[in-house]
Amino acid sequence: MDLNGNGNQDRGEQGIPSVTIKLYNSKNVLVSQTQTDKKGSYEFMRLAAGTYTVTEVVPAGYINITPMSAVVTVGSNNRRAVIDFGNANPATIKGLKYNDLNSNKKFDNGDQGLPDWTIQLQSSNGSIQTAVTGIGGEYQFANLKPGTYKISEVVKSGYTNTTPTSRMITVTSGQTLNVTANYGLFGNMHAATQKFAYVVNDNSNNVTVFDIATNALVANISVGANPWRIAITPDGAQAYVTNQNDNSVSVIDTSTNGVINTIPVGVAPTDVAFTPSGAIAYVTNGGLGSDVSNVSVIDTASQTVIATIPIGFQPYGVAVSPNGNQAYVTNGEGNVSVIDTTLNTVIANITLGPDQGPAGVTFTPDGTLAFVAEQFNGSVAVINTASRQVVNTIVVGPQIGTFPTNVAVAPNGTLAYVSNSFAHNIGVIDIPSQSVVGSPISVPGIAAFVMISPDGKDAYVSINNLNEVVKIDTVTSQITGSPIPVGSNPQGIAINPDP
């Protein structure tokens, strides 16, 4: 038995009994045949001088390692010749090609096999076999000789590998090498289209991550106490989470979905926004019940607070203009503070009016307008950023019972979506005409937050009384698919941006 497939009988390799060996003369006529004994030995005796071919009949369940036949010449001065045959049980290499959703180089719950991928197996002599992955991403190479092989994947366009694209694997006689030992695993992620939604869960103190293409759960990440809002750096590498009852910001590495740092900020941080370069983050401090009101300025390279800006009473939402020059902060006293991001000082206050309850704020992609959700007025204020004046107030529902909390603008800048929390719906605003479009889109519960996908095709709404997120098709204005379960009391949502 040639256990290692090297063609030699090494120490520890036993003979194979009951193997048929045949002897043919030079005219290919069968002269004799015999079977190996219990030690695997055989012999043909009292042969006339001449040329013979010795052939083995490979027994069932074995493969030949050495050639199945050999030619030997027996002469008057050479009456003895030794011909050995090496056999082994066939080996198998099998594995999985999978979509590594969280890019952690492991096949986790929620990861899915990728069908129709080509896997190559190269032997030590250079010959190559190919296999195509099945519907579950599985592949297999069977009837292999023992030895060392190079196994490789052919990476498809649009994907990037998260594990090595090739590796060396050694198998012995009869061995089946499979993914249980992490051999033969090939992980990839779709670099061009892979998108994840990050949902902060206020009561369960974590962040739920799911794949927006499949709605499959990717991770639940523990953060600080009572997380409220989340923002992802423009390069998609990190996510910042405000923890209201920890007075901190959790920093998540999106490649591993693990918390890599916790940054102390002010009291009761609520919202967070990045400059377009991702170099600076602004965090509003002074949520409901807090007497301390300011904005923390975080240098994202060092992940430290480099400045603290005094602001109006109980700041809530924050957004940075597309050109990065200004940050708008909504304040509980009914105005919007404008921060010069070069000086990190307040340079203006835009009055909305008393008892408006300004909450979420966002800019249009061209930066000419800003929208502010007015919780207590059932409306959205429209600010001209050049004049820093309110130029319109769009009513999205009754003053009592609507409670809009945030506004999300579509990437093409044509529509704005408003989370009307207590009305259990999403209002839609046509931006060019600054008017409400049709009837609101009903959702099954309290619409805490709305976020638009980077391609603008879907809106994601956190339903905080049902602990779920629903997806709305922005073309049909209809909820699609089943609700996506998340943690307790979901609030802010962020989606990794396009590269």
CATH code for the domain in which residue 235 is found:
2.130.10.10
Indicate if 101 and 207 belong to the same structural domain: no
User: pLDDT tens for residues 143-152?
Assistant: 999 999 899 8
User: pLDDT tens for residues 213-248?
Assistant: 888 898 999 999 999 999 999 988 899 999 999 999
Q: What is the CATH number of the domain that holds 170?
A: 2.60.40.10
CA distance 450 to 456: 12
Is residue 1 included in any domain, yes or no?
A: no
Q: In 3D, which of 421, 415, 416 has the Cα closest to residue 397? A: 421
Q: What average pLDDT does range 274-292 have in this prediction?
A: 87
Indicate if 283 and 322 belong to the same structural domain: yes
The answer to whether 474 touches 411, Cβ cutoff 8 Å, is no
Indicate if 183 and 200 belong to the same structural domain: no
Residue 181, pLDDT > 60, answer no
Indicate if 291 and 220 belong to the same structural domain: yes
What token pair was written down for 211? 């794949």
The pLDDT, as a whole number, for residue 166 is 84
Residue 180, SS3? helix
Q: Which residues contact 344 (CB under 8 A, 6 or more apart)?
A: 297, 307, 309
Indicate if 153 and 208 belong to the same structural domain: no
The answer to whether 148 touches 169, Cβ cutoff 8 Å, is yes
Is residue 15 included in any domain, yes or no?
A: no
178 burial via Cβ count (<10 Å: 0-12, 13-18, 19+): middle
Indicate if 308 and 423 belong to the same structural domain: yes
CA distance 199 to 407: 16
User: pLDDT tens for residues 75-93?
Assistant: 767 667 889 999 999 999 9
Is residue 3 included in any domain, yes or no?
A: no
Q: Tell me the residue range of the domain where 418 lies.
A: 196-495
CA distance 176 to 178: 6
Question: pTM of the entire structure?
Answer: 0.66
Q: What average pLDDT does range 296-301 have in this prediction?
A: 97
- Taking CA 123 as the corner, what is the angle to CA 122 and CA 129, rounded to the nearest 5 degrees? 45
The pLDDT, as a whole number, for residue 69 is 94
Indicate if 262 and 407 belong to the same structural domain: yes
Indicate if 222 and 347 belong to the same structural domain: yes
Count of other CB atoms within 10 angstroms of residue 288: 10
* Most distant CA pair in the chain, distance: 120
The least confident of 187-196, 382-391, 399-408, 462-471 is: 187-196
pLDDT band with cut points at 50, 70 and 90 for residue 97: confident
If you write DSSP's letter for every residue of 460-479 in order, what string do you get?
EEEETTTTEEEEEETTTTEE
Domain count, the chain: 3
What token pair was written down for 61? 């369940």
Indicate if 58 and 150 belong to the same structural domain: no
Indicate if 324 and 208 belong to the same structural domain: yes
Residue keyed to tokens 């896997």: 119
Is residue 408 included in any domain, yes or no?
A: yes
